[in-house]
Structure 1
């Protein structure tokens, strides 16, 4: 029986620049890049060398800790450059794409007749395993550790988030094939969450435990849903797959080809025409935003404004991202901005701020932090936007002074950096919450395994 989920704690950040439901198909040529930094915790070993010709789906590198975990080329073309950093660390692999794409053929599969081991081996061999993340630690899943459940969050609640009902429309066959296969990887349940009143393609699919969710952001975060449905205890593991990656797995099963195309939302006030475009993972930002960006004091973000990464037009979209956001750069300063009424910003406080009077108003916010970094101030504001049954400030401090026992006791196994994006947004101390949590989780993974 499904469990409907409704939360009250959280904060919806309404911004100008929602993507219109029109999609433009981009050409395939140009430069692409795969960045090992997108796969947190992975030490890479190169397979493809400079000058090598590759097909879409051919492995470029593998994980040093597990040679079965392959990372494929998103396009067919030529490996033109391997960018290295300190101690010859691989930072990026640049591929010049051919105008006509060739795909490695992995063979079509009937998911219903595959065993769990066959599904796992197929995902590993085709390079789809990096789409399977695990909690705790929010890293690529260990294929040898069985999860107690698998979660798919098909509801996006982040600011200007991609409309998954639109981008997944008409893809029921691919989604069903993927979910049938993925469901065999656990003896537990395959949980899928959709919006309460959403016309989602997941509503009619079989073999899943469907949940209807409602409430403010972060209800769309899979961590919030896990905490409500099947919380993680010490020694337990759950796996997480995003809907866009479920679609890739489904197409692989039906066609035998690894198609890393994404329907990407161009959002934010600095786009002339916020809309959707179809591009391949690793595409250059300039090619995606061409003739659409107001490139005047603009911050470009691969992802959403809360958890995304800053990029330049000559940079590349993140491997897992399906959104590019462009907002004004906040390099201006208000004289006595702290000492006058504020009408054009979002705040959870009612001290000289009035956003609570107009909950449906959309704001054109910039990147200004409106203050400087300082020590934590105890205000009780974090708990207002943090729906998990944890103590956010205490957990942040435990991560900062590296007390593993206290981190365990405070519930670090349940969280990922994105769960602290809202507390970071409202933090009067301007502390980098997501960075603190990530460093704490990395320490736990290194010391406790």
Structure 2
């Protein structure tokens, strides 16, 4: 075990609505959806099914013509009821009316000894055609990993410090066998190490404590200490030309289920969180579940925002939308469509702010859970020069100058300022504290796209 890496920069957003550590039951909505918009890097999606087709869980329904080896598969079995397209026929969703009893495509089961003898090419082919490959994300750029590339290393963060985020030790309780099988497979994909980032201030879960074949690193600090990008920066930073992969623990378990059970099993625990839920809790469901059915009638009155994911990086999907491929939580908060008279000039202890000049009274109650809404407290304005951004990014980069380099399309500047080390989640706190109301995450994605295709 390595020494503890203590991160001093960051900011914890303490919100009301943390899910209670118990599973309320299993929820099987009528419809599920696979959304290409959940994945960066898909260039030319090709739909393999049409409305009325019957599919099994694990049946390929989509691939990218630019990366045809990687198949995107049905999360459940049933009938394809709708292929949803947007402007310019952009593919948005493939919706499936789920069977009451799921039927699975069958894949080969592999023992530990068989897996250890499996050639890398065959391991890649199995993962790519079975639907679990999209869990693997390439850094830099935060895109789906290419099967034709061998990464320098693979990184996994075993804890999440985003607001109201679920705890992986609870999500994966009792799934030690699957997690170990997933780690064994990941070792076949790289010539380097598999790194696990561990929370130094929490009890180590048996799922991660007894894992073999991975290097453990302890981290302590405020959010974004749980971001895998921050952990990569402090373990083995990414330089120009380097390629590493990341995967979250739930994805590792799904790989393990494929190997042990011989099927694509997208079932998982999902945390239902947020101040506007009457009973924040965990439920069992499947990837791509319809959000409104997961929540049911357990919401408070008023106009609400339904987020697949967390409040910093999640997607506003609405009550009729669907759970994202990578998301293990749904957050419900109030909409903020109102004018706040005097705004931040009013002395109050009910507003959460990083800046003490605005939210001084809130600092007198540091453990108070806050109820936040989507009100921006002002409009976009000129970029205010401030040193605050660097205080919430525990990396040796300068976020403010990086964003300005992106806006100026300064390629050399972007490279020198560390764009290869970050994706949207790493600068999400900058967006939260930004008094200029700039969309840091969208700007960063523009820069990443410029660098990727330059």
Q: TM-score, normalised to structure 1's length?
A: 0.97
Partner residue, 1:102: 103
Partner residue, 2:48: 47
CA distance in 1, matches of 2:348, 2:438: 22
Q: Mean Cα displacement is larger for which, 290-299 or 160-169?
A: 290-299
Partner residue, 1:220: 226
Alignment of 1:302-317 (within 5 A): 302-317=308-323
- Asked whether the 8 Å contact 1:194–1:211 carries over to 2, the reply is yes
SS at match of 2:356: coil
User: Which of 364, 370, 381 lines up with 2:371 in the alignment?
Assistant: 364
Partner residue, 1:66: 67
Alignment of 1:208-357 (within 5 A): 208-352=214-358, 353-357=360-364
Partner residue, 1:164: 168
User: Which of 196, 203, 207 lines up with 2:213 in the alignment?
Assistant: 207
- Asked whether the 8 Å contact 1:29–1:99 carries over to 2, the reply is no
SS at match of 1:331: coil
- Asked whether the 8 Å contact 2:69–2:147 carries over to 1, the reply is no
Partner residue, 1:414: 421
CA displacement 1:386-442 (0-9 Å, x = unmatched): 111001000001111211111111110111011110000000000000000011101
1:180 lines up with 2:184 in the alignment: yes
Partner residue, 1:402: 409
- Asked whether the 8 Å contact 2:355–2:433 carries over to 1, the reply is no
Structure 2, gaps ≥5 residues long = none
- Asked whether the 8 Å contact 2:60–2:129 carries over to 1, the reply is no
CA distance in 1, matches of 2:352, 2:409: 33
- Asked whether the 8 Å contact 1:26–1:288 carries over to 2, the reply is no
- Asked whether the 8 Å contact 1:424–1:432 carries over to 2, the reply is yes
CA distance in 1, matches of 2:356, 2:346: 13
- Asked whether the 8 Å contact 1:165–1:198 carries over to 2, the reply is no
**4+ runs deviating over 6 angstroms:** none
SS at match of 1:354: helix
Q: How far apart are 1:342 and its partner, in Å?
A: 3.0
CA displacement 1:72-102 (0-9 Å, x = unmatched): 0001101111112233222111111111110
User: Which of 379, 383, 390 lines up with 1:383 in the alignment?
Assistant: 390
- Asked whether the 8 Å contact 2:29–2:294 carries over to 1, the reply is no
Q: 1:267 to 1:403 in 2, by over 3 A?
A: same
- Asked whether the 8 Å contact 1:104–1:257 carries over to 2, the reply is yes
Q: 1:46 to 1:331 in 2, by over 3 A?
A: same
- Asked whether the 8 Å contact 1:28–1:98 carries over to 2, the reply is no
Q: How far apart are 1:336 and its partner, in Å?
A: 1.2
CA distance in 2, matches of 1:420, 1:66: 28
Q: How far apart are 1:27 and its partner, in Å?
A: 4.0
CA distance in 2, matches of 1:127, 1:240: 16
CA distance in 2, matches of 1:177, 1:55: 24
SS at match of 1:421: helix
Q: How far apart are 1:210 and its partner, in Å?
A: 0.7
User: Which of 443, 450, 454 lines up with 1:436 in the alignment?
Assistant: 443
CA distance in 1, matches of 2:317, 2:209: 36
SS at match of 2:357: coil
Structure 1, gaps ≥5 residues long = none
Q: Mean Cα displacement is larger for which, 29-38 or 271-280?
A: 29-38
* Cα root mean square deviation, aligned: 1.2
SS at match of 1:405: helix
SS at match of 2:445: helix
Q: How far apart are 1:339 and its partner, in Å?
A: 2.0
Partner residue, 1:90: 91
Partner residue, 1:146: 150
CA displacement 1:177-226 (0-9 Å, x = unmatched): 00011012111110001211323211111000011111000000001000
CA displacement 1:25-65 (0-9 Å, x = unmatched): 33435111111111122021111111111000000011111
- Asked whether the 8 Å contact 2:411–2:451 carries over to 1, the reply is yes
Q: TM-score, normalised to structure 2's length?
A: 0.96
